[in-house]
Structure 1
């Protein structure tokens, strides 16, 4: 099959996945403008091959060679779109690093994203996962996004309801997976900002520092410090952050488990179910710090799987399966990975 000259062949994706796994894509293109996406749409040969949309690769597990077209979203730019009585609307291009956006909003005197500080990845990838941490989720401040629709060859705009946000999920992981490429995201940041310190670890640190009215900057600083203390730097030890979702169980099942595990941490949800800390389950099974060859579990956070240098994506997947089995055998709870397996 003939492909245009602007497409690179047999391209290594090692630099574009935080596990640092050296797998290749048959075809590759760096996307800097919407016109780049239109070029793909106009070439029938490119429209016939599978697509993989890549941001920072912090939620990606490459388990082998990708026989298709990898598109790395590299669009740049951040600006204040507009404001009204309640919100300031901030827009950022898909290729911007997520934490760079958080830092920029804080320097601009805007709160709302501080609880999501230091999360790896890009702005364009953030809605796909509906990233969340320390008592907040992306959807809390999300307003809209623009995406290129490969089926129609046009730019579309989606609001919050269109995105079908759920716990670590969205329409982009389901019905629109690889059909659209997110190019810009807009957030509604509240003018009447209130601190969110509902997460126990953050609340404890605020009290320890003697802060009575924390600012967005102070909350961000605390969260960055916590994350850096607990999570390994992907540049030093390859990882994708939290590897498993926190599973949800019924109140009845929780009561049964509490008989044998009274210290099991559980957090009630709006639907009446409880989320269990997946890291706690894994730790109880003795996996923290363990290795299977070059794939292992982080010594400081059992929820993080790591690449000790030469692990393949298949090695990481095998380790994940072993953990899932042991957790299920012991607790009858199924763990679900967060990363996308390719």
Structure 2
């Protein structure tokens, strides 16, 4: 008789006791038989650890970091201490639904080439709408702009069943990321250069460069509050998004292609900087400038900038793997959205995707 795989839900927390109080009960109601729930704490000072320990005892394991290592560093340190066949990296502000684990694991168990997957992610406070960070699966265009099925830029769609078919995507949202533990170890986990934002896209891209699949599972739904750590108006988030997007291209695109794409992106980012200034958002404009400065400086400080874990894994890369490009959009999503006014994923021609 075959045994079911072990699954560990790992929630990274930093001063989020209010989210733990609100959302942990739904996670505890999960029905997967061999389930381990772990709260990894990034050096919180709000009583989070004491709350979880007193409220849940041995039902939830707490792993504490000595300080805040960010999303990437915090997860890397916690996951290294968890043994399971599958990890689910779950944001602390996610409400899960009954049976949310079963269909995703069934999908992954059916195909060894599936390394990572994500459920349908909807908005907690607008429950019929998709949520910005993940929606119905992530894609990326030929200039490295990420977007989602159900969300193009700031335009979020209502869920009317239009994306109820599971399938292969380019990246799975880090808000509720299912990943095989062996694939996590094979890639070295998150690259800590990213700190937060787009680290899951980098991880998925590295997996796809090894030939693995990344999937969207429409039969599983979670609700994401969003903005729990950095809201959309935060200049630091602007900085991370612009800097990390450039890091993403440099790391994962073939060198010749990345050189011209990054050069072109610098000009497009400059236009974004001008737009921020025109809107009176000087802090965001400065964030774009700082992002470029940081990215350029990284060329001269690579030995210190890149995470040790990632560098170690780079020595073991297997160049014979054929990259899996499914989910790559061969056109510019910027042109399609802003110029051609295609504001829905369904407006895009399926033939323009790998």
Q: State if a TM-score over 0.5 links the two structures.
A: no
Larger radius of gyration: 1
> Per residue, is there more helix in 1 or in 2?
2
Give the TM-score normalised by the residue count of structure 1.
0.27
**Higher-strand-fraction structure:** 1
